Every structure is written in C-alpha cells, then in structure tokens.
Structure 1
Amino acid sequence: MGWVDEKEQDSVQDRMYSPKFLALRGSSLFKFTAPPVTTWDWTRAEKSFTVYEIMSKILKDNDLVDKRRHCFSVQTETGEDLFFSVELDGELLTWEKAFQMATFLEVERIQCKTYACIMESHLMGLTIDFSTGFVCFDAASKAVLWRYKFSQLKGSSDDGKSKIKFLFQNQDSKSIEAKELEFSNLFAVLHCIHAFFAAKVACLDPMFVESQANATTPTTTTTGMASLSGISCNSQPPKLKYAT
C-alpha cells in the first residue's frame, strides 16, 4: 500500500493529478482518498477492483502519457484505463511485484472462475480451471460441450466489445478449432484468462516458487503485515488481444 498520483480522466496537462492511496489486500485493489485506519474504512474505498479481473502494466517511454516518467496503468474490468505515477523507479518495481503476487495468490485460492456467455445464440458457461483449462457447458443442462487444456490454446482475438475467438489445437488431429463466445464483461474475462496463464507460468519458475514458499513461511522475527507487492492493455481503442 502507498501513495500515488492518479492522472485525471481526459486531462492533457501534467499538473492534473490527484493524490490517491492504493492498497492491495486479499482479492482486491482498493483506491482511497486517504489511508484506511479502521476496519470500517476498508468498506468506504473510493473504488475497489478484483485483482484477477484487472491488468497492471509499467509504462515504457513510448507509452507515457505526459512528462512524468515513473508511471503504471491499470486496465479495469470495464476496459477503462487508469494512470498512476510514483516518485521512484523502485516504487514501480514494488507495485509490479505486488500485483503479480496478489494475483497469483488469488488464482491459487479460487482455482476456477466461471463466466456466463453466449455461443451460437445459446446461453453457456465458460469455466477457467487452474487444473484442467477451459470448459464450456450448457447453462441449462450443465452438459459439457467442449474442454481444452491451457496448452491447447494457440491464440485468440477479440472485437473490443463482447466477442472472443479462441483458437484451440485438437490433441489428436493437431488441427486448429475455432470457438467464438460472447460475454457481457469482455475485459474481466480477458484479464482473468491472463491471470490464470501467468499463475501457470509462475508455477514453473523455480525462483518464484522458492520466493513464494519463503514469503508464506512464518518466522518469530517477523512483525506487522507483509506487503503484497499483467497482457498489455491498449487504451485507444479499448481492444485487447491475447496469444500464446
């Protein structure tokens, strides 16, 4: 948690920033106008977001929106881009690691997430499962129509509004099978898929696994609360594509 400056929406002037207090806690990113002091304060955040349904990105030189250099963006579950700046490079790294760790821990905790969707005019459900991959089922009968492992996803694209086209590789024939689904919450789904993929990759990284084990091992000398320190987002137009 800590202070940042948030760029006001539609502002083209460098001075149009407002101080905000950001905090990553459990499954959520909270945005406050003042630091939370009591338990009640946590219920009065200016805004809160579910960590696996948003995307954080450190802005490089070509992505910077003005003269401020130490900046990162957060693309929300609605596709809105929020821009924040901090004082030092080290703070950027702290926030990046915090987002990664918070997202990983939450994916590890929930294991799966289901979203309502439409396929060929029928109401369906798409489950993103950390263990098995993608499962699409009929909303009424619960019958499974298809399932694919994460490794079978060879690419995807979206229209920036509601539709995602997945390209899966058939394990037997090796042919590519296209599945198009329509969602009412497109960006939340895209960010969630990315979060699950990122968590999968993290599990294969020995250094990350070791750091995670060390971070969750209690010691007698530790006091206080350990601070928890995503696919890039396009702001114009608000369209996000993902490929493996």
Structure 2
Amino acid sequence: MPGMERLSLELTDRCAKACAFCYARARPDGTRAWAPEDVIALALDCAAHGTRAISFGGGEPLEYPHLGAVLAATRGRLFRSITTSGLLLDTALGALAAAAPEKVHVSIHHPGDGAEVARAIRQVAALEARGIRGGVNVLVRRSGLAAARAAGAALRAAGIGEDRIVWLPMRPDDTPSPAELAAAAGGPFQSATCLGGCAPSPRFASLAADGTVAACSYTRSRAPLQAMTHRALRAALAVAPLVPCGGPPP
C-alpha cells in the first residue's frame, strides 16, 4: 500500500468570514479545534510512516492559538503549508517568519473583487520578503469565469506564476467544468486532483476540526479518529467510503 504522503488538517472551525460555500462550515463563533498535542503526535507519527507534507487550514488557521507551537514541533519533519483568507496575515507575518512554514497560500474567494486580488498580491510579496514561499488559491465560479481570468492576469503581471497559483472550482454549486476552469486559467494550471474525476487517493487524507477523517475535504462520509497514529488514520479511512460532493449521505 502506498504511503500516506499528504495530510490536510483543519485546525479549527473558527473563521471570521463564515463563507456560505465553506466545506468546513466554519463560523466566527466556532468552538471545535484540535488539541495541539494531538496534532503534533499525529503529524510526527505519520511522518515516521512516510508522510511528507501537511497542510493546515480551517476555518482560519491564523485564528488557532497554538499554530506557532504546532509549526515549531513539526519543523524539519514535514513540508508544512498554510491556507489562509489573509484577513489576519498582516499582523501574523512576524510570528510566521519565526516559525518558517514552507509555504503559505492566500485564498481569493471573490476574483471579481479588485481590492481582494490586490491584497493577496501584496501579501504574497510580504511573505516572500520574509523568506516564506507565498502563493494564491483562486476560487472559480462558473458564473464568474471572466473575473477569474482577469484575476489571473493581475497575478501573473505581479510576478506570481502558475507554479504558485491553484485554481479551485466552486463546489457543490456554480461549478465550472474542467474545460471552463482551464480557459479561466489561460494555460497549464494547478487544481484539485479530483478535477478529472471523483476518486479517493491512497496517498491523501483530510482531517476535520471535529477529529473525523475522510478521503476528501468535501465528502460527507467521515469516520472518527480513534488514536493519534498513522495506523488509526488508515483504519478510519477504511470505514469512510468516498461520497461525491453533492451526492446523498452514506
């Protein structure tokens, strides 16, 4: 069986934005969060069993009070990335520079909002100035393909190449086709691995703020993690069959 190469872990379900499309159903008064010792134990045990990368999201990871401790404990053991809305990033830059994550991606949820695009461009530059590789996630709606194309042009003009842009289709509604997403990107692009078809990957696991495990962040088929170990993670995935987003619950 291939190793579990990459984990996506939602540190908290707290987020000031409370986006209606959020698969984690994050909200400003969210109370679910991982204990830092559990995150660290699981991440290190998985690293010992071949996991190479862990992505911290949410909710908003910058609203998780133990982010610095988690980053410090996993430094040098895993490739650590963070996905953030960017709303708190300006004040967190110093702490992030000290923790030195390998990558921070700023999400653009509304590509038609010029101010949001400009802020993401500025924040990527600020991350790079502090030695942190920065990038952007662009959320693409079928109803907003022209806005996505314009945002992509602005990002490239600012020196943010396609190797640092991830184009993500809106789900479960207003979802562009793969061809429409490619047209919005304007050339070779990075996206979710499921873009070409829904299927679980033996090399990936998604862990929610409530401690459940799934083969995908969007599926409604999840199983609780019984222990903070690679073995328990594998066991939970075995009883949580993938249900395509938008499909009936298991």
Structure 1-normalised TM-score?
Answer: 0.25
**TM-score, length-scaled by structure 2:** 0.25
Greater Rg by CA? 1
